[in-house]
Amino acid sequence: MRAPLPPGSTIGIFGGGQLGRMLAMSALQLGYRCIGYAPAGDNVAAEACAGFFEHHWNDREAVSAFAARCDVVTWEFENVPVAAVEAIPADRLPTSARALEVAQDRLSEKRFVEDLGGRAAPHLRIDSEEDFARALESIGTPGILKTAREGYDGKGQWRVRDRHEAQGIRFPGRRCIYERLVGFESEFSVILVRAADGEIRFWDSTANTHEGGMLVQSVLPAGEWVEAQVDEARALAGKVADALSYVGVLTLEFFATGDGPVFNEMAPRVHNSGHWTIEGAATSQFENHIRAICGLPLGETATRFATIDMRNIVGEQALGAHRILAEEGEPHLHLYGKREAREGRKMGHVTRVGARLG
Ligand code: AMP
């Protein structure tokens, strides 16, 4: 077991987005400082970091210089190239790059979870037009064609309602997955934190609503479908975390269906559907991730309010978002400081809570 990192230590974060920003804010509160690393861009995490390396992922010298300044290294973005993470000395990496390697590819994450007893939607690997035609034949429609790597928030996805629509969709020229559309009652995620000694804690699972493939809202209570299936999903998520010797926050997304939970995808990091934990849980996902990777005791994950409603603030909605502060019920507004309010871009979120529990 690693000794806990003393106050004043430095945490390196690969990735420069809002998740890194919120991780750094929690780290600051616990007396740590953060240094970020990401290619040049709107790296809003930099504002919460003591230093920031803006370099290509494959700049070996820059990665080494970054590693030399950090006592521990983590990531907020699952598409950090595995080679960059593998360049970090193992004694500074609480979780190995294997977790990223598995989660970066939709086929490998489904295989990994199926090998541990989970169930995913029927799917096939697509490397060509012919594979796509065969998959339409054997899996049928409706379905979704997704790029195997680097899709997010509904990008790199094509819905196929029927054969007719399929004729208008071309294989995009890089490895894809075609999967059957799942008829679900509800969507939910299991968010857990695992310490280096193997202790696991779960937050309550919200019911998540997506539009155009992007999360728009997470609510508690999550409803009977989620409540009936969350234990099975947690058991699976716990096995995934153990199998990866994972340290920190890990998220698995599920569909609650008439036949039980169907695994969709995993994120080896803090997750948008866990933003409510900042005000809504005894310890937030961000703080517990920092605690886990620094070897500190994990915090309680219990929900503190009878109802929770987290909504994303997307694109130009952010421009008038301060108006939310005048609402009744003390809404908790978070804006990420992004410079450009592009359409479909996550700019912030607001969490509204109901009566306090206990
Ligand atoms: P993903 O990028 O795989 O998380 O997909 C984004 C969202 O699209 C999911 O949260 C669902 O709302 C929807 N979706 C993706 N795959 C499926 C599927 N096989 N069946 C039904 N809905 C899906």
Ligand 1 and 179: CB distance under 6 A: yes
Does one domain contain both 193 and 310?
yes
With respect to residue 104, please indicate whether it lies within any of the assigned structural domains: no
Helix %, strand %, coil % for the chain, to 5?
30, 30, 40
The per-residue pLDDT for 155 is 80
Rounded to 5°, the CA angle 91-30-3 comes to 30
Residue nearest to atom 9 of ligand 1 (CA): 213
With respect to residue 310, please indicate whether it lies within any of the assigned structural domains: yes
Ligand 1 and 122: CB distance under 6 A: no
Closest atom, ligand 1, to C-alpha of 121: 19
Question: Please, are residues 78 and 52 in contact by the beta-carbon 8 Å criterion?
Answer: no
With respect to residue 133, please indicate whether it lies within any of the assigned structural domains: yes
Q: Ligand 1 centroid to 179 CA: how many Å?
A: 10
Does one domain contain both 302 and 343?
yes
Which of these, 2, 94, 48, lies nearest to 15 by C-alpha position?
48
Q: Ligand 1 centroid to 156 CA: how many Å?
A: 12
Residue appearing with tokens 């939310």: 324
Length of the chain: 358
Q: Ligand 1 centroid to 144 CA: how many Å?
A: 8
Ligand 1 and 265: CB distance under 6 A: yes
Closest atom, ligand 1, to C-alpha of 182: 20
Ligand 1 and 264: CB distance under 6 A: yes
Question: Burial of 79 by CB count in 10 Å (0-12 exposed, 13-18 middle, 19+ buried)?
Answer: middle
With respect to residue 217, please indicate whether it lies within any of the assigned structural domains: yes
Q: Ligand 1 centroid to 6 CA: how many Å?
A: 41
The SS3 of residue 28 is helix
User: What number of H helices and E strands is found in the chain?
Assistant: 10, 17
Q: Ligand 1 centroid to 267 CA: how many Å?
A: 14
Question: Please, are residues 82 and 103 in contact by the beta-carbon 8 Å criterion?
Answer: no
pTM above 0.75, yes or no: yes
Burial readout 226-235 (b: 16 or more C-beta within 10 A, e: otherwise): bbebbebbbe
Domain containing residue 260: CATH number? 3.30.470.20
Find the domain containing 126 and state its range. 122-180
Strands 33-38 and 10-14: parallel
Token pair belonging to 223: 């409803």
Residue 162: count other Cβ atoms within 10 Å of its Cβ.
12
The per-residue pLDDT for 124 is 97
With respect to residue 115, please indicate whether it lies within any of the assigned structural domains: no
Question: Burial of 74 by CB count in 10 Å (0-12 exposed, 13-18 middle, 19+ buried)?
Answer: buried
Q: Ligand 1 centroid to 75 CA: how many Å?
A: 24
Q: Ligand 1 centroid to 181 CA: how many Å?
A: 8
Q: To test the ligand 1 pocket, which listed residue (78, 119, 144) has its Cβ within 8 A of the most ligand atoms?
A: 144
The per-residue pLDDT for 1 is 52
The per-residue pLDDT for 220 is 98
Ligand 1 and 149: CB distance under 6 A: no
With respect to residue 105, please indicate whether it lies within any of the assigned structural domains: no
Question: Please, are residues 5 and 26 in contact by the beta-carbon 8 Å criterion?
Answer: no
Question: Burial of 329 by CB count in 10 Å (0-12 exposed, 13-18 middle, 19+ buried)?
Answer: exposed
Q: Ligand 1 centroid to 130 CA: how many Å?
A: 24
Closest atom, ligand 1, to C-alpha of 106: 3
Q: Ligand 1 centroid to 204 CA: how many Å?
A: 21
With respect to residue 319, please indicate whether it lies within any of the assigned structural domains: yes
Ligand 1 and 214: CB distance under 6 A: no
Does one domain contain both 208 and 333?
yes
Does one domain contain both 190 and 337?
yes
Asked if the bond preceding 6 is cis, omega within 30° of 0, the reply is: no
Does one domain contain both 219 and 79?
no
Whole-number Å distance between alpha carbons of 352 and 55:
38
The per-residue pLDDT for 358 is 80
Q: To test the ligand 1 pocket, which listed residue (139, 214, 264) has its Cβ within 8 A of the most ligand atoms?
A: 264
With respect to residue 215, please indicate whether it lies within any of the assigned structural domains: yes
Does one domain contain both 86 and 137?
no
Number of compact structural domains in the chain: 3
**Tens of pLDDT, residue by residue, the chain (358 residues):** 568 999 999 999 999 999 999 999 999 999 999 999 999 999 999 999 999 999 999 999 999 999 999 999 999 999 999 999 999 999 999 999 999 999 999 999 999 999 999 999 999 999 999 999 999 999 999 999 999 998 777 788 899 998 888 888 888 889 999 999 999 999 999 999 999 999 999 999 999 999 989 999 999 999 999 999 999 999 999 999 999 999 999 999 999 999 999 999 999 999 999 999 999 999 999 999 999 999 999 999 999 999 999 999 999 999 999 999 999 999 999 999 999 999 999 999 999 999 999 8
Does one domain contain both 54 and 70?
yes
Does one domain contain both 233 and 289?
yes
Q: How far is CA 49 from the centre of its chain?
A: 21
Ligand 1 and 182: CB distance under 6 A: yes
Does one domain contain both 268 and 196?
yes
Whole-number Å distance between alpha carbons of 357 and 327:
22
Domain boundary among the residues 180, 204, 230 is at: 180
The per-residue pLDDT for 28 is 98
